[in-house]
Amino acid sequence: MNTEPTKLTLYLDCFSGLSGDMIVSALLDVGVPFCVIEQAVSALPLTGYTIRHEKEIRSAIEVSRFHVNVMQQQPHRHLSCIRDMIENSKLNDHVKHISLAVFEVLAQAEAKVHGTTVEKVHFHEVGAVDSIIDVVAAAAGIDHLNAAVACARVPLGRGFVNTQHGVLPLPAPATLTILEGVPVEGTEVAYELTTPTGAAFVKALATHFGPIPPMTPIRVGFGAGSRTLKERPGILRAVLGGNNAMRKLLLVVFSNNPCKQNHAFLHALDLKQQGHQVKIILEGEATQCLAKRDGKFGELFALAKAQGIIAGVCKTAAHGCSTGDPARNVVDLAREQNLPLIGDMREHAAIGKYVTNGFELVMY
Own/partner contacts of 161-168, CB < 8 Å, gap of 24 or more, are: 161/192, 163/124, 163/125, 164/124, 164/125, 165/114, 165/124
Tell whether omega for the bond before 155 is within 30 degrees of 0, i.e. cis. Answer: no
Where are any strands of DSSP class E within the chain?
8-13, 49-58, 61-70, 77-78, 122-123, 147-151, 154-156, 159-163, 166-170, 184-186, 206-209, 216-224, 235-242, 248-253, 277-283, 310-314, 353-355, 359-363
Predicted confidence at residue 179, as pLDDT, reads 97
Beta bridge partners of 177: none
Domain boundaries, the chain: 8-242, 248-363
Residue range 122-147, pLDDT digits in tens: 665 544 788 899 999 999 999 988 89
Which of 260, 263, 310 minimizes the C-alpha distance to 284?
Answer: 260
In angstroms, the Cα distances linking 54 to 86, 202, 349 are 27, 24, 21
The dotted CATH code for 248-363 is 3.40.1260
Predicted confidence at residue 140, as pLDDT, reads 95
Weakly modelled stretches of the chain, pLDDT under 50 = 1, 3, 5, 126-127, 252, 254-255, 285-287, 290-291, 293, 314-331, 333, 337, 339-364
Predicted confidence at residue 128, as pLDDT, reads 79
Contacts of 205 (CB under 8 A, 6+ apart): 98, 101, 102, 142, 149
Predicted confidence at residue 356, as pLDDT, reads 40
Residue range 231-248, pLDDT digits in tens: 889 999 999 887 655 555
Residue type, 150: A
Predicted confidence at residue 236, as pLDDT, reads 97
How far apart are alpha carbons 203 and 195 in whole angstroms?
12
Predicted confidence at residue 136, as pLDDT, reads 97
| Residue 189 host element (H or E) | none
